[in-house]
Amino acid sequence: MANASCQDIRFDFTGRFLPPVYILVFIIGLLANGWGLKSLLQKWKKLGIVNVFVLNLGLADILYLLTLPFLVVYYFMKSTWIFGDTFCKITRSCFNLNLYGSIGFLTCISVYRYLAIVYPMRVMGRITVTHSVGISVMVWFLVSVQSLPDMLYSKTFGNKSEKCFDTTFNIYVDDYLKYSLGWTLTGFCIPLLITLGCYGHVIVVLCRTNTTDKVLKQRCLKLLFIVILLFSVCYIPYHVLKNLNLWSRVLQKQKICREWSNGVYIAHQISRGLVCLNSALNPLVYLHGNEDIPAKLRQLLQQARLMFSQLFLSNSGCVPVSQTADEVQQELGF
């Protein structure tokens, strides 16, 4: 229906919802990615092809996580951007580089797993670390080229209360919607189809081959689950709701109101919170790809249990304080 006065949009929801999410993602993501990258770099000489992609995945996450404190300040100041137009564009660009870089490197990991399982003899010795480094550079280049037009759109608006838009303001929203739809197709839909096709064929091959190692099947299924989780929770809702919200803004600009406009806006803000979770969920790829990390995680958990057990027993007078951690660990059966 057409109406001169549209329903008010609850813009205040963003300032209440996003800052706690950003703080949580910043803490968890920085710790998880820092730990994962440290584990990979400690065995730099033993990095395999997949781990090169995982390393770039972690770097993309760190790049985005470092911008979150500025966004938290922005929303705590009631959407007042004090860091200038250039840094606003850089901050928003880091989000895009992280988002589409993560999708690109997850796609590369999926293609490699596909080739290694379905065509092991054909690719044996033909794909090297040098190739994976070159592919990683190409992914960064393509993502940067796709993100470049976004930086040409105005991001800040206002006099005393300057805004820092994640897209652009209403004057250019018509053109931005077209750009966003094209970006969604090339940066998200095509990689999603490639990833689903690879893992779909891998599952078929593993189910038909009785001689396949059970451990290999489990690892592939776990990685498939991780990828589906990332796409379902982080990527799909964001792209659908982002374009719906842009369309709603185009309609409002034309004085065409829809009852679902406010609901779409709120859902889009929730999807923005969910999509930034990919920086905290991507380390699951570390846990899957690096066999040493789960062992270290179990060791840390055992040490924590040991510490609390030793503290409890020491306070109760059952175990001398001078008793070594190894002795307590043996007694407790760890």
Share of the chain above pLDDT 90, in %: 39
Rg, the chain, Cα only: 24
Q: Which residues of 164-183 are buried (b: 16+ CB within 10 A; e: fewer)?
A: bbbbbbeeebeebbebbeeb
* Cβ atoms of residues 30 and 276 within 8 Å: no
Calpha distance 146→271 (Å, rounded): 21
* pLDDT tens-digit readout, 166-221: 998 888 999 999 999 999 999 999 999 999 898 888 888 877 776 556 776 777 77
Residue 157 dihedral angles phi and psi, to the nearest 5°: -155, 140
Whole-prediction pTM value?
0.82
Domains and CATH numbers, the chain: 12-288 (1.20.1070.10), 291-334 (no CATH)
Largest CA distance in the chain: 80
Question: What number is the average pLDDT over the span 308-314?
Answer: 60
Q: Which carries the bigger pLDDT value, residue 334 or residue 94? A: 94
Give the tokens for residue 234: 């982080």
Question: What number is the average pLDDT over the span 236-258?
Answer: 91
* pLDDT tens-digit readout, 110-150: 888 888 888 877 777 778 888 889 999 999 999 999 999 99
Residue 319 dihedral angles phi and psi, to the nearest 5°: -130, 130
Give the tokens for residue 56: 């770039």
Helix pair 129-152, 173-184: axis angle to 10 deg? 160
Who's near 43: CB < 8 A, 6+ residues apart?
A: 292
Least confident residue range of 19-23, 66-70, 250-254, 296-300: 296-300
Calpha distance 105→35 (Å, rounded): 19
